């Protein structure tokens, strides 16, 4: 154990490098403790403040493994919040404490019972440094470094180094904690999405079925003259709104399936041209409303092994986007085969996508338009890209702002 570090700048820069190498909370704490014990302490303890202001001993490290059992007993002693010469005081004030040499008096103040005092003596603890772990102006914990070498006492200059290490460690711990919290929040959001979309889907399916049944009954009424036209219109509108809601819920469900890694691809042989031709009638109402058209030249013979329902979903997404953002201009769909790759290009002459937005529109919930102008959740492209990539393919965009966009799907044929 060198205790004295010759090149402090090198030590601190290496410490920073090691500390920034992981975002895992527990491994960050253990890296700090190992680092301290390898260079200038016989024991290292890290206490982290919980939400109630209690210090929890989360990491301990010891240099001399033969003292491990005994040291463990000391590590397990709960710190005394009233002790003015140890961790709680540092956590309260944010000021470090240096105990150059343990005295009988310090021992009395530091430990509440004779058993503890006996243990500290037995372990030969000699000199202590307590430094705060701080980040964003807040104290998050305390780093304790101990020497049990009777010939070595920490000095003020050692304390400065410990403070430097502690301040780097505080930032690393905070970063790892924020990352862990963000991961937890994402997990909770995904869980919520999954439960909420399942729960919403059940009543909606029944509403949709009932509306369709009601419409069928009206259409099969013997005397059509008595059927009020506005009621039919209302039911039709409700059916189309329910379908829209069902598509949105499906998108949310897809997101949770993808996030949890449960996206399954069930491949079967399918003809890409027929697959696209089959979904085009779904857009007839939208085309009528927008007074535009889709230009699609059939090209049979591009046959591959794909999940037809999922690829339908991708095509449907891209076509409805081309219509939604297409300024009511015609949309063209072309098909080609390049070696082992089937290529679909969906081109519109709409609003286009600015260069700086083209990278992030494939991310979850990311949009390059104002929600007031264009409705949407910002998940269609994310889901589409995941599906295409799960097939080993690629989904890309080439676009010119205010001129139009071409989305290309490349799918491996075998």
Cα-based distances in Å from 206 to 35, 198, 211, 231, 240: 62, 13, 9, 20, 14
Minimum Å distance from CB 36 to ligand ADP? 48
Segment 308 to 337, residues that bind ligand ADP, using CB under 6 A = 317, 321-322, 325
Choice from 351, 388, 395, 411 touching ligand ADP (CB under 6 A): 351
Minimum Å distance from CB 189 to ligand ADP? 17
Minimum Å distance from CB 54 to ligand ADP? 45
Minimum Å distance from CB 183 to ligand ADP? 23
Is 348 near ligand ADP (CB under 6 A)? yes
Q: How many residues bind ligand ADP (CB under 6 A)?
A: 21
Choice from 109, 330, 378, 412 touching ligand ADP (CB under 6 A): 378
d(CA 273, CA 302): 7
Determine the residue with CB nearest ligand ADP.
376
Which residues have CB under 8 Å from 334's CB, separation 6+?
A: 296, 297, 344, 345, 347
Minimum Å distance from CB 376 to ligand ADP? 2
Choice from 376, 390, 412, 413 touching ligand ADP (CB under 6 A): 376
Segment 387 to 406, residues that bind ligand ADP, using CB under 6 A = 405
Is 380 near ligand ADP (CB under 6 A)? yes
Is 249 near ligand ADP (CB under 6 A)? no
Taking CB under 6 A as the binding criterion, the range among 97-105, 236-244, 289-297, 378-386 that sits at the site for ligand ADP is 378-386
Is 245 near ligand ADP (CB under 6 A)? no
Minimum Å distance from CB 406 to ligand ADP? 9
Cα-based distances in Å from 89 to 44, 53, 92, 280: 18, 12, 5, 72
Is 367 near ligand ADP (CB under 6 A)? yes
Contact residues for ligand ADP, defined by CB under 6 A: 317, 321-322, 325, 348, 350-353, 361, 367-369, 376-382, 405
């Amino acid at each position: 154990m060198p205790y004295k570090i010759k090149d402090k700048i090198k030590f601190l820069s290496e410490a920073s490098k090691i500390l920034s190498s992981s975002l895992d909370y527990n491994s960050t704490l253990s890296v700090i403790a190992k680092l301290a014990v390898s260079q200038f302490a016989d024991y290292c303890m890290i206490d982290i403040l919980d939400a109630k202001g209690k210090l929890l001993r989360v990491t301990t490290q010891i240099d001399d493994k033969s003292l491990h059992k005994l040291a463990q007993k000391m590590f397990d002693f709960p710190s005394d919040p009233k002790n003015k010469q140890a961790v709680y005081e540092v956590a309260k004030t944010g000021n470090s404490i240096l105990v150059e040499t343990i005295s009988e008096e310090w021992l009395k103040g530091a430990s509440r019972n004779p058993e503890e005092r006996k243990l500290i003596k037995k372990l030969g603890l000699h000199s202590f440094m307590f430094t705060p772990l701080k980040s964003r102006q807040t104290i998050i914990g305390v780093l304790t470094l101990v020497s049990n070498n009777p010939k070595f006492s920490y000095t003020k200059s050692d304390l400065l180094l410990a403070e430097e290490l502690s301040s780097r460690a505080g930032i690393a711990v905070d970063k790892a904690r924020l990352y862990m919290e963000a991961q937890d929040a994402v997990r909770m959001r995904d869980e919520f999405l999954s439960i909420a979309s399942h729960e919403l889907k059940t009543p909606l399916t029944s509403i949709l079925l009932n509306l369709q049944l009601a419409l069928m009954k009206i259409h099969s009424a013997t005397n059509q003259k008595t059927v009020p036209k506005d009621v039919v219109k209302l039911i039709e509108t409700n059916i189309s709104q329910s379908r829209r809601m069902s598509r949105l819920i499906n998108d949310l469900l897809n997101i949770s399936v993808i996030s949890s890694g449960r996206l399954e691809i069930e491949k079967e042989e399918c003809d890409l041209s027929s697959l696209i031709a089959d979904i085009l009638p779904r857009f007839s109402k939208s085309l009528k409303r927008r007074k535009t058209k889709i230009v699609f030249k059939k090209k049979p013979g591009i046959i591959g092994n794909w999940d037809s329902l999922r690829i339908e979903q991708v095509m449907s997404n891209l076509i409805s986007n081309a219509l939604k953002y297409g300024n009511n201009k015609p949309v063209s769909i072309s098909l080609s085969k390049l070696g082992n790759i089937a290529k679909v290009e969906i081109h519109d002459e709409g609003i286009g996508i600015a260069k700086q937005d083209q990278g992030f529109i494939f991310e979850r919930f990311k949009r390059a338009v104002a929600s007031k102008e264009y409705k949407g959740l910002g998940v269609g492209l994310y889901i589409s890209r995941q599906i295409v990539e799960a097939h080993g393919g690629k989904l890309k965009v080439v676009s010119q702002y205010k001129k139009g966009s071409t989305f290309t799907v490349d799918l491996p044929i075998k």
